[in-house]
Amino acid sequence: MRAENKKLRTPIDILEAALAKERDAYCFYDDLLKEVKVVMVQEILEKLRDEEHKHILMIEREITKTKRG
């Protein structure tokens, strides 16, 4: 187990860590899109970025539900 994972003790900790990773991935794909000129690659990056956005929304909903109890 990674050292950073040992700090994740509560469901909120885990969800917030997952949310941060999804946001990083979204930014990664979005930044690549600004550099890539090949249409086929742009389309793939857009799909990947959009999937990360869906994950972000899903995790945010789960955080809200979990905090409500």
Stated length of the chain: 69
* Tokens of residue 48, six digits: 């990947």
Amino acid at 6: K
Q: What is the pLDDT of residues 44-57, one digit of tens each?
A: 999 999 999 999 99
CA distance 65 to 69: 6
Domain boundaries, the chain: 8-68
Using only C-alpha atoms, the chain has a radius of gyration, in whole angstroms, of 15
The pTM (predicted TM-score) of the whole model is 0.86
CA distance 39 to 67: 42
CA distance 49 to 43: 10
Residue 59 has pLDDT above 80, yes or no: yes
Note the Cα 40 to chain centre separation in Å: 23
